[in-house]
């Protein structure tokens, strides 16, 4: 409790918080001034319309005077606060002074109203003063010394009021006690309000800093990956070229030839990983939609399957199934080829040598459905949720020892989403899996 009353905004954010709440306080001054002006104007209009009825109310002239003060004071605060809001944020003194004057004005007019209504014995009717105290506590952020000052001001108002009233000693004592209680209420409520708003500001700023740090780390990660990928690509190209040239020489011995083929395969695998890394970097900086063109998916997929089949042994089969009618869609050919190649490659990688792979194309409402089905080892249930994550832990070695860094399916999902589509998976462990790509048909 006492720590709360002594609380200060952490020094790192103190100045920024003051600038922020100074502007907020001035906005509250403007809003509440309008509210007071509207209410006071309605009361003034009622005085004009029903003067004969209201004139008989006790202390009518005092009500009349406080009403004029409310109208004139709130109008002045509206004009000054509107001007203050247009000034530069560096003019903190103007905004701070305006806020303190308005709080002084608000407490004064609510106390005066309670004083008049209670027939100069304020403790009997505290409603208006309590409204003022609660309003100050909730709507304004005040520093500790400022709240202490206004708390003493409330006590001072009570002392002045009882000194000019004809109250007996007991009534005066009760009024002093009430003033002390109200001063404590103002101080306590204000400090609670200040604490929670300051803590919220502090947490938001910490979160913003963490977000900036994460963004910076992501940028650095992308720069490092791009640097490594680009710098590794050239030596790998040289290794691949030299290995190919060595294999073309007729006098290469058989054992040396196997080693060169191993080097060549490793270079190709490393280049595939590099291309995946570059793809991830490029996609993270790319626009949401890819440049696309109208293509016949039936012919497009048929050509992909034939190319794969030509590079496989006659024992491995990839079957393509589609209807007789051509299916058209807006597609980025190079990116979409990468998706289908990845899905077919995965199907072959996780299937027994003799098991066929099926690629099918069909339509459903306004979408084209491309399904790549295998009858391999399937996907363990615990890996399904991580399947499309970047650098996914779901990446596994193939049945022939093929390596994976868990980027292929992540890239596939990015590309399909940029085609305004989605990629899904149906899976039965140890029986195979089906990947379904849905993209919009050509309208």
Domain ranges for the chain: 2-211, 214-284, 293-440
pLDDT-based confidence at 8, cuts 50/70/90?
Answer: confident
Taking the alpha carbons at both ends of the chain, their separation in whole angstroms is 67
pLDDT of 32 strictly over 90: yes
- The CATH class that applies to domain 293-440 reads alpha beta
Task: Give the range among 69-73, 127-131, 388-392, 398-402 with minimum mean pLDDT.
Answer: 398-402
pLDDT-based confidence at 421, cuts 50/70/90?
Answer: very high
Higher-pLDDT residue of 430 and 225 is 430
Any idea which residue has 């992308």 for tokens? 222
pLDDT at 394: 52
Average pLDDT over residues 424-441: 89
pLDDT of 247 strictly over 80: no
What would the pLDDT profile of 348-376 be if each residue is shown by its tens digit? 888 888 888 999 999 988 999 999 999 88
3-class SS letters over 50-64 = CHHHHCCCCCHHHHH
Is the Cβ–Cβ distance between 174 and 139 less than 8 Å?
Answer: no
* Cα 443 to Cα 440: distance, rounded to the nearest angstrom: 8
pLDDT of 389 strictly over 60: yes
Q: Which phi and psi angles does 247 have, rounded to 5°?
A: -70, -25
Residue 1 three-state SS = coil
Is the Cβ–Cβ distance between 407 and 394 less than 8 Å?
Answer: no
Task: Give the range among 92-96, 99-103, 149-153, 381-385 with minimum mean pLDDT.
Answer: 381-385
Tokens at 435, concatenated: 């990947």
User: What percent of the chain lies above the pLDDT cut of 90?
Assistant: 32
Q: Quick one: angle between helices 11-49 and 92-117, nearest 10?
A: 40
- Please calculate the CA angle 332-333-338 and round it to the nearest 5 degrees: 100
What would the pLDDT profile of 181-226 be if each residue is shown by its tens digit? 999 999 999 988 888 888 888 888 888 888 888 888 877 776 776 6
pLDDT-based confidence at 383, cuts 50/70/90?
Answer: confident
* Cα 292 to Cα 419: distance, rounded to the nearest angstrom: 8
Q: Which phi and psi angles does 425 have, rounded to 5°?
A: -135, 135
How large is the C-alpha radius of gyration of the chain? 39
pLDDT at 269: 67
Task: Write out the H or E segment, with its range, that includes residue 329.
Answer: strand 328-331
Average pLDDT over residues 46-61: 79
pLDDT at 230: 65
How many separate helices (H) and strands (E) can be counted in the chain? 12, 7
Average pLDDT over residues 26-52: 91
Q: In 140-168, where does DSSP find H-type helix?
A: 144-163
* Cα 303 to Cα 290: distance, rounded to the nearest angstrom: 22
pLDDT of 46 strictly over 80: yes
Is the Cβ–Cβ distance between 376 and 350 less than 8 Å?
Answer: yes
pLDDT of 307 strictly over 80: yes
Q: How many CB atoms lie within 10 A of CB 151?
A: 21
Average pLDDT over residues 3-25: 80
What would the pLDDT profile of 60-101 be if each residue is shown by its tens digit? 888 889 999 999 999 999 999 998 888 765 577 888 899 999
What would the pLDDT profile of 256-275 be if each residue is shown by its tens digit? 667 777 777 777 667 766 76
Task: Write out the H or E segment, with its range, that includes residue 71.
Answer: helix 60-86
DSSP of 247-282 = HH-TT--HHHHHHHHHHHHHHHHHHHHHHHHHHHHH
pLDDT at 399: 58
83-87: Cβ within 8 A, 24+ apart: 84/26, 85/23, 85/26, 85/27, 85/30
Nearest one of 89, 66, 69 to 77, comparing CA atoms: 69
pLDDT-based confidence at 254, cuts 50/70/90?
Answer: low
* Cα 438 to Cα 443: distance, rounded to the nearest angstrom: 15
pTM value > 0.75: no
Q: In 118-141, where does DSSP find H-type helix?
A: 127-139
Tokens at 368, concatenated: 């084209």
Any idea which residue has 């009534």 for tokens? 171
């Amino acid at each position: 409790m006492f720590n709360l009353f002594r609380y200060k905004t952490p020094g790192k954010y103190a100045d920024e918080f003051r600038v922020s709440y100074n502007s907020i306080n001035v906005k509250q001054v403007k809003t509440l001034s309008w509210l007071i002006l509207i209410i006071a104007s309605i009361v003034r209009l009622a005085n004009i319309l029903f003067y004969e009825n209201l004139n008989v109310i006790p202390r009518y002239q005092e009500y009349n005077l406080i009403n004029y003060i409310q109208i004139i004071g709130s109008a002045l605060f509206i004009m000054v606060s509107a001007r203050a809001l247009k000034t530069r944020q560096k003019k903190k003194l103007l905004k701070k002074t305006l806020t303190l004057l308005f709080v002084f004005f608000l407490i004064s007019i609510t106390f005066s109203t309670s004083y008049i209504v209670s027939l100069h014995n304020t403790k009997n009717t505290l409603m208006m003063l309590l409204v003022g105290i609660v309003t100050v506590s909730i709507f304004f952020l005040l520093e500790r010394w400022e709240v202490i000052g206004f708390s003493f001001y409330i006590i001072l108002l009570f002392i002045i009021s009882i000194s000019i009233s004809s109250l007996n000693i007991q009534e005066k004592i009760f009024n002093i006690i009430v003033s002390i209680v109200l001063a404590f209420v103002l101080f306590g409520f204000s400090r609670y309000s200040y604490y929670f708003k300051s803590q919220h500001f502090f947490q938001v700023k910490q979160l913003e800093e963490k977000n900036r740090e994460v963004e910076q780390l992501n940028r650095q990660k992308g720069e490092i990956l791009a640097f490594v990928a680009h710098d590794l690509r050239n030596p790998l190209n040289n290794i691949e070229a030299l290995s190919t040239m060595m294999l073309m020489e007729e006098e290469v011995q058989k054992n040396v030839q196997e080693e060169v083929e191993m080097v060549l395969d490793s270079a190709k695998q490393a280049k595939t990983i590099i291309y995946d890394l570059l793809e991830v970097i490029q996609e993270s900086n790319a626009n949401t939609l890819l440049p696309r063109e109208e293509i016949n998916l039936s012919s497009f997929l048929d050509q992909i399957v034939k190319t794969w089949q030509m590079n496989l042994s006659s024992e491995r089969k990839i079957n393509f199934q589609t209807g007789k009618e051509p299916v058209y869609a807006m597609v980025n050919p190079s990116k979409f080829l990468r998706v289908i190649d990845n899905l077919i490659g995965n199907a072959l990688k996780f299937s027994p040598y003799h098991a066929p792979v099926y690629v099918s194309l069909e339509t459903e409402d306004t979408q084209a459905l491309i399904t790549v089905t295998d009858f391999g080892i399937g996907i363990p249930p615990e890996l399904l949720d991580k399947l499309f994550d970047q650098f996914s832990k779901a990446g596994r070695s193939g049945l022939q020892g093929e390596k994976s860094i868990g980027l292929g399916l992540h890239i596939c999902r990015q590309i399909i989403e940029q085609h305004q589509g989605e990629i899904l998976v149906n899976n039965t462990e140890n029986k195979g899996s089906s990947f379904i790509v849905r993209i919009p048909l050509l309208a």
